[in-house]
Chain A
Amino acid sequence: MWDNIKDFASEFFVTGDPLIYGADVAIVLTVVAIVSALTYFKKWKWLWREWLTTVDHKRIGIMYVIASLLMLFRGGVDALLMRTQLAMPELDFLEPEHYNAIFTTHGVIMILFMAMPLMFGLFNLVVPLQIGARDVAYPFLNSVSFWLFFMGAMLFNMSFVIGGSPDAGWLSYPPLSETMFSPGPGQDFYIWGIQISGIGSLMTGINFIVTILKMRAPGMRLMKMPMFTWSTLSSCLTIILAFPILTVTLALLFIDRYLGAHFFTLDGGGNPMMYINLIWMWGHPEVYIVVLPAFGIFSEIVATFSKKRLFGYKSMVFALMSISFFSFFTWAHHFFTMGSGANVNAFFAVTTMLIAIPTGVKVFNWLFTMYRGRLSFPTPMMWTIAFIPCFVVGGMTGVLLSVAPADFQFHNSYFLIAHFHQVLIGGVAFGFFAGLYYWWPKVFGFTLHEGIGKWAFWFWNIGFYVCFMPQYVLGLMGMTRRMNTYGWDRGWWELNLTSTIGGFLMGIGFLFQVWQILHSIKFFKKAPADPWNGRTLEWTIPSPAPLYNFATLPRVSERDPFWEEKQRREKGILPPPPPPLEPIHMPRNSGVPFVMSAFWFVAGFGFVEHWTWMAIAGLVGVAASMMVHSFNYNTDYYIPVDEIKRTEAAAAKGAV
C-alpha cells in the first residue's frame, strides 16, 4: 500500500530538482497562509459574496488585473531564471530539460495568461464607464469568461509541480509536441490550460462587441466613441475571428495525442507543417489583439496630457479597424523558412510591410496631438512617451524581418527574440502599465505614489534597453533562440551578461511597482473624480465608481463630452439639470460561473492525466451547472431611488 502511494506520488509530482522543491514549499506555505488568514479574519463569506460570485464588471476587471500581475511575476521569474543560466558560458544553473520547460512556460504565460487578462481587465474596468453603460451586455457571461480564464491559467501553472511542464516551445510545434516525442502530461496541460481559458477569451470578445454596439449612452454615435473603446472593438473583432482557429488547431493536436489520430504526425498521412500554418493564423492576429488596445490607451493618454483633442480621429479609427482585418493576411511571415516557395513568401512579405503603414499613421497622430499641446508628464504620460521610440525601433526591426530573403539569416536568432520583446514589452506591457496608472484612481479610489512610480519607470526603461539591445547584436553574431548554454569560444558572454543585468533591472522595476501599490494603500490618499483633467465620461462619476456607474445615463452630443462640458462651464454655460432618478435595473450575483469553471478544471485535469472517470465527472458537472443556470429566473433586481440618493450623497461628501 505504502509503496503504491510512493510510486504514484513519484510519477504524479515533479521530483528531483531543488528549484522545484523550493517552489513546492513556497506554494504550500502560501496556500496555508491564505487559508488561515481568511479563516482568522472570518472572510470566507465576504470572499464568496463580494468577489467569487460577482457579475460587476469593475470587480471582474480588478480580479483580472490581480491575476495577470501574479502571472507577470511567474513569467518574470521564468525570464530571470533563463537570463541567469545565460549570464556566463557553460553554466549548469538549469538542466537542459528544465530550460526547455521554462522558455515554454515563459512564452505561454506572458502572452496568454498575462497580456490577455491584463487587457481584458482594462476592457472591463474602462469600456462600460467610457460609453456611459451600467454594465457589460452579458454580466453573467463576463463572470464565466473570467473564471474560465482563471481555471485554465491555474491548470497550466500547476504543471510545473504536478506532472511536468510542457517543454515544446510556446506554440508547441509537432512532431515534437506529439506523443512520440512528448509522452508526459506536460503537453496536455498546455492544451487544456489554453483551451479552457480560450473559451473565456472568445466569450469576452463577443461580450464587448455587443456592449459597444448596443449599450452606448444616448447620442454617442460610433464616430463619437473614445479611442480606447474603438481599439477594444477592433481587438474583440479580431478575437472572435482568430480564437476559433486556435481552438480547432489545439483540438486536432489533442485528438492526435489522446486518440492516436494523424493530423500532424510524420507518418500515417499527417503533416506537422499544417499545424504551423494553422497556429500562426491565430498567432499573428493574436499579437494585434493585444497591441491594439494599447494603441487605444496611448491615444487617450496623449490627448488628456496634451489638453488637446486627438489628432486625426478618423484616420486613427481607420488604422485600428484596418489592422484588425489585415492582421489575417500576414501569418506566413512566421515561417518563411518552411519552404513554401518564392511566390508565397513574396506575397506575405509585402502584406507584412503594408501593415506597418497604419501603425505608422498612428505614431504621427500621437506626435501631432502633442504638437503645441499644453503637455504635462505624470507617470501614464511617461510610459506613453517611452513607448513611442521603443515601438518605432521594434517596428522597424520587424520590417527588416519581413524581408523574406533576409529572414533566412535572422530567423530563429536572438535578433528575432529582441524584435518581438521590443514590440511586446515596448508596446503591450508599456501600454497596459500606462493604462493601469491612468485609470488606477478611477478603479480603486486612491492615487498612486508618483515618486516611486517614476523610479519603477526608469528601472523598467533602462533595464529594457540594457537587456534587449545586446540581443540584436547577439542574433547577428549567430546566437540562436532556445539555446540553453554556449561555449567561451563564441565571444558572446559580455553581451549576454549585459543582457542579464538588464533583465534584473526590469525585475527591480517590477518590485518598485509592487512597493508603489503597497505604499499607496498604506498611505491612503483619496482620489478625486477627475484627477487628470480628463476628457471622457468615466471621469464624470465618483472614484471609485458606484455599483451602478451612472446615477442617470449621460447624454452625449460630441467627442470628448466631459472636456467640452468643462469648457462650456468655464464660459458660464451650465449643462441642463440631470433627469430625475429612476430605479436602476441590475444583474444579480451568481455562483454558477465559478462552480462551472471549477468543473471545467476537473474535466481538464482528467483529460491531462488520462483519468476518464474524472473527465466525465467534470463534464457532467459543467452540463449540470448550465442546467441550474437555465432554470434560474431570479437573475436581476432594481436598486431603489433612495439607495441611489444615499450612495451619491456619500460619494459627493467623500470627494470634498
Chain B
Amino acid sequence: MARQHDEHESHGSLKSYVIGFLLSLVLTAIPLVVVLNDLMEGTPAKVLLLGSAVLQFVVQLFYFMHLKEEKKPRYNLMVLLLGIAIVLTIVAGSIWIMTYNKVA
C-alpha cells in the first residue's frame, strides 16, 4: 500500500489554474488564427504550429501537472526527461529509417 494519505503535496491555487487555463487558450488560439486566416504558409507555419504545441505541453506540465512543486528526489522530472528522450528517438529514428523505405 502506498502511503498516499500522509504525504499530500500542494496542488496549486485558483490563480495558477486560471493563468494556466488562459495560457492554454492563447496558445491554442494563435495557430488557429494564423492558419485559418492564411497569415503564414509553408515552413514558417509549421514552425509556429510545432512551437506553440511545445509551449502548450510545457504549460500543462507546470500549471496542471505540478512539475515544479515536486519534492526531491524529482522522480517525475527524471522519468519525464527519459520519456522525452525515448519519444524523440522513436520519432526521429522512424523518420530516418523510413526515408529509405517508401512504398511506391
Contacts and interface: CB of A to CB of B under 8 A. Distances in A.
Contacts, number: 62
Contact of B102 (A271, A341, A586): A271
Nearest to A276: B101
A443 B82 CA distance: 35
Given A274-B94, A278-B94, A281-B90, A341 B100 contact: yes
B103 A277 contact: no
A328 B100 contact: no
A241 B1 contact: no
Contacts of B102: 271
Contact of B86 (A214, A241, A585): A241
B2 interface: yes
A134 interface: yes
A215 B102 CA distance: 49
B83 interface: yes
Contacts of A213: 75
Contacts of B82: 237, 241, 325
A344 B100 contact: yes
A350 B97 CA distance: 16
A135 B90 CA distance: 35
A270 interface: yes
Interface stretch (A112-120, A295-303, A332-340): A332-340
Interface string A84-116: 000000000000000000000000000000000
B36 interface: no
B98 interface: yes
A180 to B, nearest CB: 15
B37 to A, nearest CB: 30
Nearest to A331: B93
Given A241-B82, A241-B86, A271-B102, A344 B2 contact: no
Nearest to B96: A344
B8 interface: no
A270 B1 contact: no
Q: How large is the interface on A (under 10, 10 to 19, 20 to 34, 35 or more residues)?
A: 35 or more
B19 to A, nearest CB: 30
A283 interface: no
Nearest to A134: B1
A343 to B, nearest CB: 8
Contacts of A266: 103
B89 A585 contact: no
Query: DSSP majority for the A interface?
Result: helix
Interface string A171-198: 0000000000000000000000000000
Given A273-B103, A587-B1, A245 B90 contact: yes
A338 B101 contact: yes
A138 B82 CA distance: 23
A340 B100 contact: yes
A332 B86 CA distance: 15
B101 A273 contact: yes
A210 B74 CA distance: 13
B72 interface: no
Contacts of B15: none
A215 B96 CA distance: 42
A490 to B, nearest CB: 33
A491 to B, nearest CB: 36
Interface in A199-236: 210, 213-215
Contacts of B2: 137-138, 210, 214-215
Interface in B67-83: 75, 79, 82-83
B34 to A, nearest CB: 28
B98 A277 contact: yes
Given A139-B1, A215-B2, A266-B103, A273 B89 contact: no
Interface in A631-652: 636
Contacts of B98: 271, 273-274, 277
B13 to A, nearest CB: 26
A329 interface: yes
Contacts of A344: 96-97, 100
A215 B103 CA distance: 51
Given A241-B82, A281-B90, A339 B100 contact: yes
A221 to B, nearest CB: 11
A128 to B, nearest CB: 11
A415 B97 CA distance: 26
Nearest to A211: B2
Contact of A328 (B79, B89, B97, B103): B89
Contacts of B90: 245, 281, 328
Contacts of A237: 79, 82
Given A273-B98, A332-B97, A636 B89 contact: no
Given A241-B83, A277-B94, A281-B90, A585 B1 contact: yes
A111 to B, nearest CB: 21
A332 B90 CA distance: 11
A137 B1 contact: yes
Given A329-B89, A340-B101, 4 more contacts: A138-B1, A245-B90, A274-B94, A332-B93
Give the 10 A-B residue pairs with the shortest CB-CB distance, closest first: A137-B2, A273-B101, A341-B100, A340-B100, A271-B103, A340-B97, A241-B86, A328-B86, A344-B97, A277-B97
8 contacts: A237-B79, A237-B82, A241-B83, A274-B101, A328-B89, A329-B89, A339-B100, A339-B101
